[in-house]
Every structure is written in structure tokens, then in C-alpha cells.
Amino acid sequence: MRERSPWIRKSFLRHLHPPRIDPRGGRILYTLCLGGAATVLFLILVLTGGALLFHYRPTTAEAHASLYDLSRVVPYGWWIRNLHYWGGQAMVLFVLLHMARVVLTGAFAPPRRFNWVVGCALLSLTLITDFTGYLLRWDRDMVWAATVVAELLQRVPGFGGGLYSFLTGSEGLGDTALLRFYVLHCVLLPSMMAVLMAYHFWRVRKDGGISSPL
């Protein structure tokens, strides 16, 4: 396995960023490169989110106040926060449109069926990441939204109780819950998305490049 690992890495990088591509794959089509646009938005969200980390305080007593300071006190904080917020909403829209394009062009069919599953996982992670970011505002509306979601999760048969405890801790919707939403939004979910996106792009190349438009 050790002897094969350099070959595996070389093969992965070659498919992820090949020296040559089909000329059709380099043209701007009517779909406007929705997957690529979503990737650019993801990178923007990582950069703006990293900047927001320097000022956001993930406690129930200070979360909303820290966002107020970002919007009113921190130089250009309002611009970074708005870019992060609207970039997140745009990414959700672009991923949904990208999935619709895949359905309309039949790009979910073999040999791309498994990559379609990966794309569905990325869509789910995008929506969850967007929702956890929504909860970090921690004002009255966000607390009610978190309460509704937590109660729904608790009623999932089999593992609902464990999932509820994992997300909220033993004290319910308090500092522990907010901290866990914060870690999910800033670390775990983006890391999972980055890994799946790299694999998704690799599979696109490996399965013959982008699908043809209608």
C-alpha cells in the first residue's frame, strides 16, 4: 500500500487538475458554470468567515452583541458580515440550480451515479451549514428556530435522543448548544464539504468531464 500511495496521490491530482481538458469544458455555457460559481462562493465564505471569527463571541450572553459590534463598530465589519451572509444565500441558490441542471441534462446517470450521491451530500451539508450560521445570531427568532429543530430531532425514532444530546448538551439550548453550533458551522461542516468537493471534482474528471447541455 505504501508503494501505491504516491501513485494514488499523483492520479488524484492529475484528474483534479489535468494538463488538458476538452475545449467544450472551458467554454462559458448557458449554465454559467454553476458548480464552479458555488465553489468560488465557498472560498469567499471561508475567507469572510475567518475574518468574522476574530470578533464573534459564541456565548448566549455576548453572541448577538458581538454581531451588533461587527455591524456598527468594527471598521468594514458590516461589509464583511453582509458579504458572508449574502454569499451563503447565493451558494445555496447556485447549488440548487446546479443540481437542477444535472437532472435536466441527465448527468446523474451512469457512470456519474455515485458522483450524484456525493452532490446530494454536498447539497445537504450546504443547507445545514447555512442553517447553523443562521442560528449563530442567537436573537429571539433564532432561539425559537433552534427550539423547533431540536424538538423535531428529539422525536426521530431510534437515535433522536442521542442526536439531541449531541447538539445541545445536557443543559438544553444554552451556551453548550451555541458552542456546538459554532463548531459545526466553522470547522466540521466546512471541512467535510472541502473534502467532498475535492472528491466531486476528481470524479467529474474521472467520469469523462462535464456533461453536455441540452
Residue 165's CATH number: 1.20.810.10
Q: Where are the alpha helices (DSSP H) in the chain?
A: 5-16, 34-52, 63-72, 77-105, 113-135, 140-154, 160-168, 175-183, 189-206
In a domain, 5, yes or no: no
In a domain, 196, yes or no: yes
Other beta carbons within 10 angstroms of residue 75's beta carbon come to: 7
In a domain, 10, yes or no: no
Please count the CA atoms within 13 angstroms of the CA of 133 that sit on its side-chain side: 26
Give the pLDDT of residue 1.
Answer: 47
Rounded to the nearest integer, the mean pLDDT of the chain is: 83
pLDDT at 48 over 80: yes
Give the pLDDT of residue 78.
Answer: 92
Give the pLDDT of residue 18.
Answer: 59
**Mean pLDDT, range 62-75, rounded to an integer:** 89
In a domain, 211, yes or no: no
pLDDT at 28 over 80: no
In a domain, 62, yes or no: yes
**Mean pLDDT, range 92-101, rounded to an integer:** 93
Q: What is the pTM of this model?
A: 0.82
Count how many domains the chain has. 1
Q: Which domain holds residue 125?
A: 32-206
According to the per-residue pLDDT averaged within each range, which of 2-6, 92-96, 106-110, 115-119 is highest?
Answer: 92-96
Give the pLDDT of residue 95.
Answer: 95
Interval 102-157: pLDDT, tens: 888 887 778 788 889 999 999 999 999 999 999 898 888 888 888 888 888 888 88
pLDDT at 91 over 60: yes
In a domain, 4, yes or no: no
In a domain, 82, yes or no: yes
In a domain, 185, yes or no: yes
**What SS3 state is found at 100?**
helix
pLDDT at 184 over 90: yes
